[in-house]
């Protein structure tokens, strides 16, 4: 598959052990269309047999990491015409993208500028570390759109910021989480000046890349297996729940209100 939105640069840093993956759709939104998600999922295969790369930095554009799922994507808007089975199958693309990044042997770092919303936030919490610019913000709008927060992100958020903050971030869907607040919560590891997230991530990556690669991989694998041992148990119904909520009146109201730029009125139906 030809990549339109994702570019890879390898051989950076000490002994060429750092790679940068840049996701950039060339606009100020950087939304996750079906094509974009497939590219972000498949790019991880570039590192499956790569014993030379120790660290992979994932970054977006200079103005946005990602606005999340592309509600205007023609492919995504076909969901109302699909059968339940087809909807569940298509809904698994996002979780598979995130799982592919979590399962990389290399240490992964997200470098975030601007907004990181919905699916963008789900993607960055599947990485090992997160650095962001001071003007960056996070938001998880799914509940306000009448759907569940999926893509396996609930257990990952829980591991990072705890149960109360996870509930707050997901349920109070319209609230922005600014960079300073994200740092305080443990959602990100470092906040730097705007425009410096990738450079700061590179400095951190160089420190990791200077370590012996084999025990670095072993350490990541051990920590992840312990931290995410129950993830499948917690998230296995994600796709089913998303399809179920997509059949509700509240989902239609939430997405209509978003497109019409008004406050939704939910009725629990």
The model carries a pTM of: 0.90
Instruction: List the Cα angle 101/84/230 in 5-degree steps.
Output: 40
Helical residues (DSSP H) of the chain, grouped into ranges: 34-42, 84-91, 93-102, 119-124, 153-171, 179-185, 197-209, 213-227, 231-235, 238-245, 249-260
Asked if CATH classification 3.40.50.2000 holds for the domain at 6-195+213-260, the reply, yes or no, is no
Percent of the chain with pLDDT over 90: 63
Q: How confident is the model at residue 107 (pLDDT cuts 50, 70, 90)?
A: very high
Sequence spans of domains, the chain = 6-195+213-260
Distances (CA, A) of 126 to 100, 102, 130, 157: 9, 5, 10, 9
Q: What is the structure's pLDDT at 77? A: 58
The candidate with the shortest Cα–Cα distance to 118, out of 152, 92, 141, 91, is 141
Q: What is the structure's pLDDT at 66? A: 96
């Amino acid at each position: 598959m030809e990549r339109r939105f994702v570019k890879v640069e390898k051989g950076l840093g000490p002994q060429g052990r750092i790679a940068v993956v840049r996701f950039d759709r060339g606009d100020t939104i950087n939304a996750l269309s079906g094509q974009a998600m497939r590219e972000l999922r498949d790019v991880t295969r570039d590192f499956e047999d790569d014993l030379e790369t120790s660290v992979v930095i994932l970054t977006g554009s200079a103005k946005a990491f990602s606005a999340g799922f592309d509600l205007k994507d023609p492919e995504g808007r076909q969901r109302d015409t699909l059968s339940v089975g087809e909807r569940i199958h298509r809904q698994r693309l996002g979780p598979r993208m995130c799982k592919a990044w979590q399962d990389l042997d290399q240490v992964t770092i997200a470098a975030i500028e601007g907004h990181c919303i919905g699916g963008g936030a789900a993607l960055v919490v599947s990485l090992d570390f997160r650095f962001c610019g001071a003007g960056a913000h996070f938001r998880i709008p799914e509940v306000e759109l009448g759907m569940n927060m999926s893509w396996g992100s609930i257990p990952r958020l829980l591991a990072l910021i705890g149960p109360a903050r996870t509930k707050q971030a997901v349920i109070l869907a319209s609230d922005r989480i600014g960079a300073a607040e994200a740092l305080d919560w443990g959602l990100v590891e470092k906040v730097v000046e705007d425009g410096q997230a990738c450079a700061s991530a590179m400095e951190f990556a160089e420190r990791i890349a200077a370590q012996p690669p084999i025990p670095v991989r072993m350490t990541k694998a051990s920590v992840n297996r312990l931290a995410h041992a129950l993830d499948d148990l917690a998230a296995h119904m994600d796709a089913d729940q998303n399809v179920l909520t997509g059949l509700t009146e509240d989902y239609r109201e939430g997405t209509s209100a978003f497109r019409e730029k008004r406050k939704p009125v939910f009725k629990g139906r």
